[in-house]
């Protein structure tokens, strides 16, 4: 029903906006809750057992994270007597809140729910979960100052490594995208303490790249690497462009995805964290390996049934193709 859908999407926007606008922990928590409650019906809309399972997992993890956040902010109010987000000073609630937000967005080692949940959803809802749902927790992470840098660096490094290793043996595209999301979030968290503007840049480019990837897979109606092998007959033009989109996600120059990684490595080196930068760069190679695998599956395999007569791509709707064209162009050539 379009009215229900509009209401849910409005709730999604409202929750994030409330969190953005709040300077009080209770209000921020309320925004996160509205956000979670609005996306749950969207996730379970197909009534498939997989989708219901994914929705339940998502609800439980988000509720846990929200409870942790509420507990930490109440503890902070108890210890320091104020609720302001930017005035956090006590190390205990600071650490707890950082971990709660890490669980919200799915940073390693609190990442295990993300691949499972994403695998149970359809591609448009998965796209919302991978992009829009990350905004509110990130706004809070950017606002809390003087958190222990060791925690952030550990979370970031663990995420880049787990995102690289985890994606290697996956055959399902949504799981691959989930691990890719974990790796990208790791890069953002690594640099959060030293240069918040770079975190925002990485988040923005990640959004653009993920948008085009999800839309490509939606147009192809493919959810596994095997299904990509026959995408040549479905959308020939896209099949030649998609490897570029995937390599941009992997962070190869001269594509857009290279920019945030380049600047983040440069900033880490400036902060005398050369070993950290080296580890992060090496973990990016792991991610690159599975992006290359998907690219191979798309471009170097000929489909067994060459149905060039049946070309659904000619008749696809402009609602899908226009954002796809914009996102793909941006993903390939924004550098």
Question: Sorting pLDDT into bands at 50, 70 and 90, what band is 48?
Answer: very high
- pLDDT over threshold 70, residue 165: yes
Q: Determine, yes or no, domain membership for 62.
A: no
Q: Determine, yes or no, domain membership for 1.
A: no
CB atoms within 10 A of CB 222: 20
Q: Determine, yes or no, domain membership for 88.
A: no
Longest dimension (CA), the chain: 71
Give the dihedral sign, CA 86/91/96/98: positive
Question: Tell me, what's the pLDDT at 67?
Answer: 98
Residue 229 phi/psi, 5-degree rounding, is -65, -25
DSSP bridge pairs for 319: none
Q: What is the pLDDT of residues 112-149, one digit of tens each?
A: 999 999 999 999 999 999 999 999 999 999 999 889 99
Q: What is the pLDDT of residues 194-239, one digit of tens each?
A: 999 999 999 999 999 999 999 999 988 889 988 888 887 777 788 8
Q: Determine, yes or no, domain membership for 317.
A: yes
Question: Tell me, what's the pLDDT at 281?
Answer: 96
pTM score > 0.85 for this model? Answer: yes
- pLDDT over threshold 60, residue 318: yes
Dihedral-angle region of residue 176 (phi above 0 means left; psi in -120 to 50 means alpha; beta otherwise): alpha
First vs last C-alpha separation in the chain: 41
Higher pLDDT among residues 303 and 261, named by residue? 261
Helix axes 25-43, 132-143, angle to 10 degrees: 160
- C-alpha to C-alpha distance for 229 and 233, rounded to whole angstroms: 9
Contact (Cβ atoms closer than 8 angstroms) between residue 140 and residue 101: yes
| Domain region containing 312 | 148-332
Nearest 10 degrees: CA dihedral of 215, 217, 218, 219?
90
Cα 220 from chain centroid?
21
Q: Determine, yes or no, domain membership for 7.
A: no
For residue 185, give the DSSP letter. H
Q: Determine, yes or no, domain membership for 188.
A: yes
Domain count, the chain: 1
Q: What is the pLDDT of residues 68-85, one digit of tens each?
A: 999 999 999 999 999 999
């Amino acid at each position: 029903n379009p009215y229900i859908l509009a209401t849910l999407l409005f709730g999604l926007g409202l929750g994030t906006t409330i969190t953005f606008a709040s300077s009080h922990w209770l209000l921020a928590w309320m925004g996160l809750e509205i956000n979670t409650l609005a996306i749950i019906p969207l996730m379970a809309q197909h009534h498939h057992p997989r989708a219901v399972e994914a929705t339940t997992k998502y609800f439980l993890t988000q509720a846990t994270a929200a409870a942790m956040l509420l507990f930490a902010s109440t503890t902070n109010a108890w210890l320091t007597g104020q609720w302001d987000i930017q005035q956090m000073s006590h190390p205990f609630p600071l650490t707890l809140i950082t971990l709660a937000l890490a669980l919200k967005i799915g940073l390693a080692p609190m990442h295990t729910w993300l691949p499972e949940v994403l695998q149970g959803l359809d591609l448009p809802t998965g796209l919302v979960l991978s992009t829009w749902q990350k905004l509110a927790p990130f706004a809070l992470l950017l606002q809390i100052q003087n958190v222990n840098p060791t925690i952030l660096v550990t979370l970031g490094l663990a995420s880049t490594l787990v995102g690289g290793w985890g994606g290697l043996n996956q055959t399902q595209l949504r799981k691959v995208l989930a691990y890719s999301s974990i790796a990208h979030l790791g890069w953002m968290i690594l640099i959060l303490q030293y240069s918040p503007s770079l975190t925002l840049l990485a988040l923005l480019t990640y959004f653009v790249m993920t948008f085009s990837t999800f839309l490509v897979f939606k147009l192809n109606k493919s959810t596994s690497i095997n299904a990509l092998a026959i995408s040549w007959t479905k959308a020939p033009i896209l099949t030649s462009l998609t490897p570029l989109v995937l390599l941009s996600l992997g962070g190869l120059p001269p594509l857009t995805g290279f920019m945030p990684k380049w600047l983040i490595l440069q900033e880490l080196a400036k902060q005398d964290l050369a070993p950290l930068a080296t580890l992060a760069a090496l973990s990016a190679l792991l991610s690159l390996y599975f992006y290359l695998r998907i690219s191979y599956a798309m471009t170097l395999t000929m489909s067994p049934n060459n149905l060039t007569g049946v070309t659904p791509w000619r008749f696809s709707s402009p609602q899908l193709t226009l954002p796809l064209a914009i996102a793909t162009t941006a993903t390939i050539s924004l550098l």
